[in-house]
């Protein structure tokens, strides 16, 4: 295990459908395989690797354009497994967060989300941040609207608005991302945590997510440890 472990890892979960197509399987089985892998990697990252915060891009605002049956299956994965997921996070001492817009989500999904967040609200050994119905443009738009409302109400001086003001109005009050991992070979952010990834290290792998096992996660951590994170300044001595 590398000595330098990122505090906040963001993971773009990508490649479930391609994994299924390669095996002549329905997309639902690809998503189920991806869900099982996500459970494994979440456990491994926090328990064994020492990652404190894991942000998971599991469903974007744009994903609602997919076939309704596929969308419903993805939501079923959460609704059918949320109690087991919550019990495991409680056992690990981890807090569960959800980042994204609540609009368009079914009541049963919102109920599951609220249960998970409420049941783990006092845990402090790690954070699992599920980005569900999430888009960074939407997040920044919502933050701008909230700030504008405070200015209009007279509770905020426009001249006092700074980066910290914006960060306070983002969906989750989490530190910046240190390492962003994207599976499946795509090399773009796809509207994910644009503000939080300003100085993140990016790691792209051709591995489809259902095949992204512990060894693949280790490779990402090892690559991160080799990077020289200047954060806009000079190189730091090792």
Q: What is the pLDDT along the chain (238 residues), one digit of tens a residue?
A: 778 999 999 999 999 999 999 999 999 999 999 999 999 999 999 999 999 999 999 999 999 999 999 999 999 999 999 999 999 999 999 999 999 999 999 999 999 999 999 999 999 999 999 999 999 999 999 999 999 999 999 999 999 999 999 999 999 999 999 999 999 999 999 999 999 999 999 999 999 999 999 999 999 999 999 998 776 666 655 5
State yes or no: 55 annotated in a binding site: no
Q: Is 19 annotated as a binding residue?
A: yes
CATH of domain 8-135+176-225: 3.40.1180.10
Tell me, what's the pLDDT at 128?
A: 98
74: tokens are: 């993805």
Q: Are strands 94-99 and 8-12 parallel, antiparallel or unpaired?
A: unpaired
* 145 labeled binding residue: no
Q: Which of 172, 151, 170, 169 is nearest to 160 (CA)?
A: 151
pLDDT the model gives residue 236: 59
Distance CA 138, CA 110 (A): 18
> What's the CA gap between 209 and 204, in Å, rounded?
12
pLDDT given at position 228: 85
Overall size of the chain counted in residues: 238
Q: Which residues are catalytic?
A: 14, 63
How far apart CA 236 and CA 89 sit, in angstroms, is 36
CA–CA gap between residue 134 and residue 139 (Å, rounded)? 8
Flag whether 17 is marked binding: yes
Q: Does 15 appear as a known binding residue?
A: yes
Kind and range of the H or E element at 112? helix 107-119
Here the tokens at position 65 are 């354009």
């Amino acid at each position: 295990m590398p000595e330098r472990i990122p505090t906040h890892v963001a993971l773009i979960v990508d490649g479930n459908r391609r994994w299924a197509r390669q095996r002549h399987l329905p997309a639902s089985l690809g998503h189920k395989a991806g869900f099982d892998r996500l459970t494994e990697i979440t456990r491994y990252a926090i328990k064994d690797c020492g990652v404190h915060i894991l942000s998971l891009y599991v469903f974007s605002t744009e994903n609602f354009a997919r076939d309704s049956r596929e969308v419903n299956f993805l939501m079923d994965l959460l609704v059918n497994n949320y109690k087991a997921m919550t019990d495991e996070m409680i056992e690990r001492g981890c807090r569960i967060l959800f980042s994204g817009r609540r609009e368009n989500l079914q009541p049963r999904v919102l109920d599951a989300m609220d249960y998970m967040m409420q049941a783990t609200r006092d845990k402090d050994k790690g954070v699992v941040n599920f980005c569900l119905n999430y888009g960074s443009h939407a997040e920044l738009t919502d933050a701008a609207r909230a700030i504008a409302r405070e200015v209009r109400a007279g509770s905020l001086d426009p001249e006092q608005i700074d980066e910290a003001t914006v960060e306070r109005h983002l969906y989750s009050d989490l530190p910046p991302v240190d390492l962003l991992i994207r599976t499946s070979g795509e090399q773009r952010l796809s509207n994910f945590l644009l503000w939080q990834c300003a100085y993140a290290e990016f790691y792209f792998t051709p591995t489809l997510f259902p095949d992204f096992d512990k060894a693949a996660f280790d490779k990402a951590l090892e690559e991160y440890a080799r990077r020289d994170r200047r954060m806009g300044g000079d190189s730091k001595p090792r």
